[in-house]
Amino acid sequence: MEKFEPENMIREVVDACADCDVCRHLMDTSCLLFPELYRLIDREMETGEKIRAKELRNLVDLCNFCALCPCPNIRADIIKAKTRFIDRDGLKLSIRTLENVERIGDLCGAYPQLANLLFQGRLTGGIVKESLGIHRQRSIPAFPAENFPAWAGKQKLHIKGQETLKKKVAYFAGCTGRYLFPDVPRAAVEILKHNGIEVFYPRQQCCGMPCLLEGDRQLTLKFVRFNVQHLVEAVEDGYDIVCSCPTCGFMLKNVLKEGAYYSSEYQASVGADEAFMKIPTDTTVSNPKQKKFTLLKKSMYGSLLKDEGYFSSISPRKRILVAENTYDIAEYLTGLHRAGELKTNFGLVPERMVYYPPCHLREQNIGRPYLDLLGLIPGIDLEPIDGHFYCCGIAGIMGFKREFHTPSIQLGTRLMEKIKVLNPERLVTDCLSCRLQFNQLTPYKVFHPIEILNEAYAG
């Protein structure tokens, strides 16, 4: 087999992990991939039986890109191998249907009563789920009578410059918020407006993470190109991009710009010379005048550091422009508070709550800003859970697949037991995929922290 055959690509990952061994115990309770990877490594070392091609293929399907493992290059290489498998072998029809959250949301959002009748019906529910490759026991929430895009249209949020305010935000709502839990993006809009900020809802599609995880390069690039085009236009008109979904934020801020700083287009824009590459030391600084750089010799690093990643076909300038101007809404509001610009006229919310920080929030390296924001609310009793040691197990659309339902439940067991011991009055998380899992496996009412903040403002 050639070097770039997917089996060889994932074999290189296996060999790298065999030489390291750090994740053998680090990932044994929060990951499906590494326990299986080390089982295969141990078998090969003990018996001499080589890991088979089918086993290598199955390995890539176990990664959900949660980013908990300590090596970004390993998970990136797994996704590259999976994408190469799909390029070569194709994608199952059921997966191709399930991964397109945008299309499912559009269709079910247009006919919510019919969708609910089909999904919730005693006779039809199982049949519909089976046809989509969803496990029969996976709970599907009811589709709302009015989704967020419909509400936003009534509010005319798609029109720029309705208000001449100093601060203005282009809001990226995320598929789950747009089509399943519209109260979350509505709360985000209301909070931003309460704080005197113009809110613009640009044209947007799925962030691309679900189809990226399934190895569907064509659909991923279609979504990302669409979003980049419209978000760049907003940034150039002076808008900050704000997300309430941590997965969308991780995609726009981190994944999208991979390799972009190494491109010749970016290097020329920052005045790099023939001898040195200029790499920003803090990629969260978008103002060119405030940027600081590390200089790397092209003779040493030029052949290694290139813009050859998943999104290299999209303008690196545009990818960086989106990434450097995107904020999680908690990060954005915390920035307002530090500047003394956040309204803190919160009413009393005297309840015990448990907060679970999701994996893709952690990977944005912004800390846990909701702890600071919710701490401003009088009467609230908030217990955080350390997201490094617990996983809800749903892994986006992976937990909906027929073959991953049982492992998904098993992965989340430790977290569910922890929550039940704490026994809160309300459970809070900013990941709406986690919310789906919590709704299925716990008896608690689940809220996005932005909903709690909005409730406190209304109080």
pLDDT at position 235, please?
Answer: 97
Measured in whole angstroms, the distance separating CA 162 from the mean position of its chain's CA atoms is: 30
Q: What per-residue confidence (pLDDT) applies to 49?
A: 95
User: Tens digit of pLDDT for each residue in 181-218?
Assistant: 999 999 999 999 999 999 999 999 999 999 999 999 99
Ranges of residues in the chain with a pLDDT under 70 are: 1-3, 286, 288, 387
Predicted local distance difference test score (pLDDT) of residue 408: 92
Predicted local confidence at residue 2, as pLDDT:
58
* 3-state SS, one letter per residue, for the chain: CCCCCHHHHHHHHHHHHHCCCCHHHHCCCCCCHHHHHHHHHHHHHHHCCCCCHHHHHHHHCCCCCCCCCCCHHHHHHHHHHHHHHHHHHCCCHHHHHHHCHHHHHHHHHHCHHHHHHHHHCCCHHHHHHHHCCECCCCCCCCCCCCCHHHHHHHCCCCCCCCCCCCEEEEEECCHHHHHCCCHHHHHHHHHHHHCCEEEECCCCCCCCHHHHHCCCHHHHHHHHHHHHHHHHHHHHCCCEEEECCHHHHHHHHHHCCCCHHHCHHHHHHCCCCCCEEEEECCCCCCCHHHCCEEEEEHHHHCCCCCCCCCCCCCCHHHHHHHHHCEEEHHHHHHHHHHCCCCCCCCCCCCCEEEEECCHHHHCCCCCCHHHHHHCCCCCCEEEECCCCCCCCCCCHHHHHEHHHHHHHHHHHHHHHHHHHHHCCCEEEECCHHHHHHHHHHCCCCEECHHHHHHHHHHC
What pLDDT score does 28 carry? 80
For residue 1, what pLDDT is reported?
Answer: 46
pLDDT of residue 68: 81
Structure confidence at residue 131 (pLDDT): 87
Query: Do residues 134 and 400 make contact, with C-beta atoms less than 8 angstroms apart?
Result: yes
Strand 352-356, strand 381-384: pairing? parallel
Name the phi and psi angles at 248, rounded to 5: -60, -40
Ordered by where they begin, the domains of the chain are 6-90 (no CATH), 94-131 (no CATH), 147-342 (no CATH), 344-458 (3.40.50)
